[in-house]
Amino acid sequence: MNQIKVFCPGSVANVSCGFDVLGFCLEPVGDIMSVTKTVTPGVTIGTISGQDLPKDPEKNVASVAVKSLLEAHPSEYGFRIDIEKKIKPGSGIGSSAASAAGAVFAVNELIGRPYSRNELIQFAMAGETLASGAAHADNLAPVLLGGFTLVRSNKSLDIIKLPSPPKLVATVIHPKIELKTIHSRAILKNTIPLEKAVQQWGNLGAFISALYTNDYELLSRSMKDKVIEPYRAMLIPRFEEVKASAIQAGALGSGISGSGPSIFALSKSNEIAEQVGNAMKKQFDDLGLEYDVYISNINNEGIKILH
Amino acid sequence: MNQIKVFCPGSVANVSCGFDVLGFCLEPVGDIMSVTKTVTPGVTIGTISGQDLPKDPEKNVASVAVKSLLEAHPSEYGFRIDIEKKIKPGSGIGSSAASAAGAVFAVNELIGRPYSRNELIQFAMAGETLASGAAHADNLAPVLLGGFTLVRSNKSLDIIKLPSPPKLVATVIHPKIELKTIHSRAILKNTIPLEKAVQQWGNLGAFISALYTNDYELLSRSMKDKVIEPYRAMLIPRFEEVKASAIQAGALGSGISGSGPSIFALSKSNEIAEQVGNAMKKQFDDLGLEYDVYISNINNEGIKILH
* pLDDT digits 0-9 by tens, A282-307: 999 999 999 999 999 999 999 999 97
Q: Is the pLDDT of residue B31 over 80?
A: yes
Taken as a whole, chain A contains a residue count of 307
Q: Does the active-site annotation cover B128?
A: yes
- What is the rounded CA–CA span in Å between residue B25 and residue B94? 9
Between A152, A154, A202, which is nearest B21 by CB?
A202
Same domain, A89 and A214: no
Same domain, B191 and B59: no
Taken as a whole, chain B contains a residue count of 307
CATH number for position B288 = 3.30.70.890
Q: Tell me what pLDDT residue B117 has.
A: 97
Q: Do A198 and B162 count as a contact with CB atoms less than 8 A apart?
A: no
Same domain, A32 and A87: yes
Residue B169 parent element (H or E): strand B169-175
Residues of B in contact with A158 (CB under 8 A): 206, 218, 221
Same domain, B85 and B220: no
CATH number for position A155 = 3.30.230.10
The structural domain count of chain A equals 2
Residues of A in contact with B19 (CB under 8 A): 198, 201
Same domain, A16 and A146: yes
Same domain, B21 and B147: yes
Same domain, A156 and A41: yes
Same domain, A24 and A127: yes
Same domain, B190 and B292: yes
Window from A28-37, A232-241, B178-187 with minimum mean pLDDT: B178-187
Report the SS3 class of residue A22.
strand
Same domain, B60 and B109: yes
Compute the average pLDDT of residues A1-26.
97
The answer, as to whether pTM is greater than 0.90, is: yes
Q: Is the pLDDT of residue A186 over 80?
A: yes
Q: Tell me what pLDDT residue B132 has.
A: 76
C-alpha separations of A80 from A40, A87, A111, A120 in Å:
10, 20, 14, 19
* Eight-class DSSP state of A168: -
Same domain, B102 and B190: no
Q: Give the domain range for residue A21.
A: 3-162+300-305
Residue A130 has phi, psi (to 5 degrees) of -60, -40
Between B19, B160, B206, which is nearest A206 by CB?
B160
- What is the rounded CA–CA span in Å between residue B258 and residue B93? 6
Contact residues, chain A to chain B, C-beta under 8 Å: 18-22, 150-154, 158, 160, 162, 188-195, 197-206, 208-209, 212, 218, 221-222, 227
**DSSP characters for A253-279?**
EEEE-TTSS-EEEEESSHHHHHHHHHH
* pLDDT digits 0-9 by tens, B256-273: 999 999 999 999 999 999
Q: Tell me what pLDDT residue A181 has.
A: 73
- What is the rounded CA–CA span in Å between residue A264 and residue A242? 10
Same domain, A124 and A196: no
* pLDDT digits 0-9 by tens, B77-128: 999 999 999 999 989 999 999 999 999 999 999 999 999 999 999 999 988 8
Q: Which residue has the higher pLDDT, B111 or B177?
A: B111
CA neighbours closer than 13 Å in the CB half-sphere of residue B90: 14
Alpha carbon distance, N-terminus to C-terminus of chain A: 11
Neighbours of B232 (CB within 10 A): 24
C-alpha of A159 from chain center = 15
C-beta of residue B143 within 8 angstroms of C-beta of residue B92: no
pLDDT-based confidence at B1, cuts 50/70/90?
confident
Among left, alpha and beta (phi > 0; psi -120 to 50; other), residue A200 is alpha
pLDDT-based confidence at B180, cuts 50/70/90?
confident
- What is the rounded CA–CA span in Å between residue B146 and residue B162? 9
Q: Do B202 and A20 count as a contact with CB atoms less than 8 A apart?
A: yes
